[in-house]
């Protein structure tokens, strides 16, 4: 883990000192001279909005993604990958614009506006667990700085003694060993109608592997639609449904809502009648974390819930 963290740290420092990690401009490159208190963020990624909020800098956000789940209604929306609202961005006057790397290219109009108004672009992929963890560290260093003894001389002992977001997150992903092995083949679903499974390459699939369990699906795409016959043929030993409920402010502090066996069976409905190992042993779980599908630190909490579920199935 320490070697991985050191690699992430090199990328984080690049944000601040022009090493070229990723596709971010830095304050030096853009000529920005504002202090942290003067920074204004347009966060056009729901996942990054959660990370920035959890790091304690929600008050710097002046514009958000159309499908944001956590920011105040008072923060204006500035579009999505389908199209960004340049008028709103210009009116909110951000110093930084945050993107999640996607296949969508930025329009020529946006690029001209970014140059004209001196927006600092911070763009990172959030497709894997390692992407999420490294982006959390990058944002941590961007917002909190790097411990230094003198100018441009980093106090590495202090850096690695601190609880970096990636280190905290990784604690939720540690291998459960025999506890996970005994569960058998685990299927993670994202919907029941139609039946949609999280396949290889998805971060929920990765979570199951990191925790030490065996995914029921061995090949295929990140999202796989299935019918009853497919499910019977796959015959998973356990099924976890990720079904986020509507988020609320209380969810930042409240314990997970525990569903009774009767409630779980009711949600699975006609699937309960299928001749499947998971149904016969009642190894069924529903994770209702409101941010359970977002690529952010919330996946650590999702992993914690899955780990507790695995332990309960071993009791």
- Per residue in 169-220, pLDDT (tens digit) is 888 989 999 999 999 999 999 999 999 999 999 999 999 999 999 999 999 9
**Same domain, yes or no: 165 and 197:** no
pLDDT at 72 over 60: yes
Domain final position from 170, 189, 209? 170
Domain final position from 124, 143, 170? 170
How many angstroms separate the CA atoms of 119 and 63, rounded? 13
| pLDDT at res. 149 | 54
- What is the number of domains present in the chain? 2
**Same domain, yes or no: 180 and 65:** no
- Give the 3-state secondary structure of residue 25: coil
**Same domain, yes or no: 107 and 17:** yes
**Structural domain for 290, as ranges:** 172-314
**Same domain, yes or no: 201 and 286:** yes
**Same domain, yes or no: 303 and 179:** yes
Give backbone dihedrals phi and psi of 2, rounded to 5 degrees, phi first.
-60, -40
Please report, for the domain that includes residue 153, its CATH number. 3.40.50.1980
**Residue 287 — left, alpha, or beta (φ > 0 → left; ψ -120 to 50 → alpha)?**
beta
**Same domain, yes or no: 274 and 296:** yes
**Same domain, yes or no: 146 and 261:** no
This prediction has a pTM of 0.81
- The candidate with the shortest Cα–Cα distance to 205, out of 232, 173, 179, is 173
For the chain, what is the mean pLDDT?
83
**Same domain, yes or no: 197 and 244:** yes
Domain final position from 112, 146, 170? 170
- By CB atoms closer than 10 A (0-12, 13-18, 19+), residue 76 is middle
**Same domain, yes or no: 159 and 190:** no
**Same domain, yes or no: 210 and 260:** yes
∠269-273-275 over CA atoms, to 5°? 135
């Amino acid at each position: 883990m320490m070697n991985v963290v050191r690699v992430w740290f090199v990328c984080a420092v690049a944000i601040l000192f022009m090493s070229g990690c990723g596709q971010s401009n830095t304050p030096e490159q853009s000529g920005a001279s504002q202090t942290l208190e003067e920074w204004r963020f347009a966060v056009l990624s729901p996942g990054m909005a959660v990370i920035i909020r959890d790091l304690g800098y929600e008050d710097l956000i002046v514009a958000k993604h159309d499908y944001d789940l956590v920011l105040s209604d008072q923060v204006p929306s500035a579009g999505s990958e389908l199209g960004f609202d340049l008028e709103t961005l210009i009116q909110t006057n951000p110093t930084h614009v945050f993107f999640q790397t996607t296949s969508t290219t930025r329009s020529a109009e946006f690029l001209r506006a970014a140059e004209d108004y001196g927006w600092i672009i911070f763009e990172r992929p959030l497709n894997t667990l390692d992407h999420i963890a490294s982006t959390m560290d990058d944002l941590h260093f961007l917002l909190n700085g790097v411990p230094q003894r003198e100018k441009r001389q980093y106090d590495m002992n202090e850096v690695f003694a601190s609880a970096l977001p990636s280190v905290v997150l990784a604690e939720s992903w540690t291998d459960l060993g025999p506890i996970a092995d005994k569960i058998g083949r685990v299927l993670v679903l994202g919907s029941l109608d139609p039946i949609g499974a999280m396949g290889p390459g998805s971060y929920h699939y990765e979570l199951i592997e990191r925790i030490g369990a065996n995914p029921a699906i061995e090949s295929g795409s990140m999202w796989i639609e299935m019918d009853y016959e497919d499910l019977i043929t796959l015959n998973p030993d356990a099924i976890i449904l990720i079904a986020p409920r509507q988020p609320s402010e209380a969810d930042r502090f409240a314990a997970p809502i525990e569903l009774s066996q009767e409630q779980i069976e009711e949600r699975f409905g006609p699937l309960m009648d299928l001749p499947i190992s998971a149904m016969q042993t009642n190894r069924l779980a529903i994770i209702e974390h409101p941010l359970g599908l977002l690529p952010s630190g919330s996946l650590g909490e999702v992993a914690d819930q899955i780990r507790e579920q695995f332990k309960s199935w071993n009791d």
